[in-house]
Amino acid sequence: MTQLSPHFSLAELTHSDTAVRLKLSNLPPTADLVRLTTTAQAMEAVRDLLGKPIKVSSGYRGAALNKAVGGAKSSAHCFGYAVDFRCDGFGSPYDVCKAIAGSGIVFDQLIHEYGRWTHISFDPRRRKMPLSIFSAKRGYLNGILPAP
């Protein structure tokens, strides 16, 4: 198993049940692998902050997988910059987002998504944008907000 950082493997950050079901390859090309490795290393700071194991639900998404899951064409997942995860040992996704937002971790976007998981992006723009989304119809809201 290829480790990208002490706690995150290539298999973990590229696994997708959808890709397995649809028999899609989700191995990143070299440029995306380099970015994914940088993202894995940045996730070490998140794990250190939370002090508990992280369960990744979505990391890298190749173009075919991104289309299959209905992801945005410009999704940070497609470039190896983003990770969706939970850390139930620490607390709810809201608790996780609040902890990250209040830390010194520099991210591009941090999103409390649907009250069910945390999305974090380490795109080099590092805009430090905390957002929340609870319905596609309502869209993104500024700040880390509790689920309604």
Q: What is the pLDDT of residue 91?
A: 98
Res 1 pLDDT > 90: no
Which residues fall within 8 angstroms of residue 46, CB to CB, at 6 or more apart? Answer: 54, 100, 105, 120
User: Tell me, which fold does domain 3-142 have in CATH?
Assistant: Muramoyl-pentapeptide Carboxypeptidase; domain 2 (3.30.1380)
State residue 129 phi and psi, 5-degree precision: -100, 105
Q: What is the pLDDT of residues 47-63, one digit of tens each?
A: 999 999 999 999 999 99
Which residues fall within 8 angstroms of residue 21, CB to CB, at 6 or more apart? Answer: none
Residue 21 CA to residue 119 CA, distance in Å, equals: 23
Q: What is the pLDDT of residue 56?
A: 96
pTM attached to this predicted model: 0.95
Q: What is the pLDDT of residues 109-124, one digit of tens each?
A: 999 999 999 999 999 9
Q: E-strand spans in the chain?
A: 3-5, 8-9, 55-58, 82-86, 109-113, 117-121, 129-133, 140-142
pLDDT band at 147 (very low <50, low <70, confident <90, very high): very high
